[in-house]
Amino acid sequence: MNAKADLKNFTLPELEQFLSGQGKERFRATQIFKWLYQKDARTFSDMTNLSKDLRCELEETAFISNLDATTVEVGRDGTRKYLFTFSDGEAVESVLIPDEGRNTLCISSQVGCAMQCEFCLTGTFKLSRNLTAAEIVNQVCAVRRDAPVTNIVFMGMGEPLHNLENVIRAIRILLDDNGLQFSTRRVTVSTSGLVPEMAELGRAVTVNLAVSLNATTDELRNRIMPINRRYPLATLLKACRDFPLPGRRKITIEYVMLGGVNDSLDDAKRLLRLISDIPNKVNLIPFNEHEGCEFRAPTQAAIDAFHKYLIDRHVTVITRDSRGGDISAACGQLKGKLVKQNRSDHP
């Protein structure tokens, strides 16, 4: 007997196809989609404008997956960190970051990560598996029960473009007018630099792109981000120039500042040269120190000097404030607590 289908793994056209294969009208898919994402139906019995017979038939062939947080930590600044544990025992994190006029939700796309960036805590877990589209979307559904969400960033655990098929499917659900109804301007995908997948993403959906650059020479980027050995800076920056940007949108250049490593004025000068022909805004991210990592946070003087150099040359720069410093704020810290707890419970 075939396993039941998780309806939250379907985009609207895929749901239409699934239902038509069972002899159902196409408009039923729109009804169900709205129940799932606009009314947050968690069971078929919630879908009161479907006939009882149809609901019973759906129960035979499909199910609605749901996600509830295992742990929620709330910081003094309002940052909320969620740990979600799946039925197979694997766990990921999401972070809700409140700001003036917006609530940004940072979601995960993989359990662990294969990119092995030297400064990243998530990479220490290695890659266990990809998340399904349903597992990605359910992070949003779960957090929206707790607080409003205005913006989505794929910057949590995992490399989104390493799980491209499921990420694209999840994005289509996020953007669908009958789904979660997010604007394309309010969904951002961050990548460490998987060049072919960047092009594929741009062809498939319209979203904002953020590129985690973090170094201004191939020598340093090879050391701290092994993906650079496959797609060096020249190749990556060409992919940025070629990425389809609607209107006056810009690519976000993410730059994690590592104390004494990549935070000098010479680095700022090289960064300016590298990105000068790309529509860009720069997001400076002072490194968030974590146990077992050799890197250190930059000094405030280094942050200020780097920021000022770019601002003075008319670059749009945001220096990200450290948020949730009193909770497990860095991506992977909350899961790290769970792993340590499990080890102590099962020595």
Domain CATH for 237: 3.20.20.70
pLDDT of residue 100: 87
- Together in a domain, 53 and 142: no
Share of the chain above pLDDT 70, in %: 91
> Domain ends where: 15, 41, 63?
63
d(CA 40, CA 43): 9
d(CA 286, CA 319): 8
Q: CB under 8 Å to 100, separation ≥6 — which residues?
A: none
- Together in a domain, 45 and 124: no
Is it the case that residue 282 has pLDDT exceeding 80? yes
> In this structure, is the dihedral angle defined by the CA atoms of residues 285, 298, 264 and 310, taken in order, positive or negative?
positive
- Together in a domain, 155 and 17: no
> Domain ends where: 38, 63, 88?
63
pLDDT band at residue 333 under the 50/70/90 scheme:
low
Q: CB under 8 Å to 278, separation ≥6 — which residues?
A: 237, 240, 241, 251, 253
Pairing type for strands 251-257 and 280-286 reads parallel
**Whole-prediction pTM:** 0.92
Tally of domains within the chain: 2
Decide if 170 contacts 136 (C-beta within 8 A): yes
The tokens describing 164, both together, are 């491209």
Range of the domain at 14: 5-63
If 0-12 CB within 10 Å is exposed, 13-18 middle and 19+ buried, where does residue 101 land? exposed
DSSP 6: E
- For the stretch 169-186, pLDDT in tens is 999 999 999 999 999 999
Helices (H) and strands (E) in the chain, counts: 11, 14
DSSP 125: G
- Together in a domain, 11 and 143: no
- Backbone torsion region of residue 251, taken as left when φ is above 0, otherwise alpha when ψ lies between -120 and 50, otherwise beta: beta
Is it the case that residue 324 has pLDDT exceeding 70? no
- Together in a domain, 169 and 129: yes
- For the stretch 103-128, pLDDT in tens is 999 999 999 999 999 998 866 778 99
Enzyme catalytic residues: 93, 331
- For the stretch 222-280, pLDDT in tens is 999 999 999 999 999 999 999 999 888 999 999 999 999 999 999 999 999 999 999 99
Q: How many residues does the chain have?
A: 347
Decide if 160 contacts 127 (C-beta within 8 A): no
> Residue 192: which of 213, 165, 164 has the closest Cα?
213
> Domain ends where: 63, 80, 98?
63
- Together in a domain, 59 and 73: no
d(CA 268, CA 270): 6
d(CA 173, CA 181): 8
d(CA 57, CA 212): 47
- Together in a domain, 93 and 145: yes
- Together in a domain, 147 and 43: no
pLDDT of residue 55: 95
Q: For 153-170, give one letter per residue: b (16+ CB within 10 A) or e.
A: bbbbbbbbbbbbebbbbb
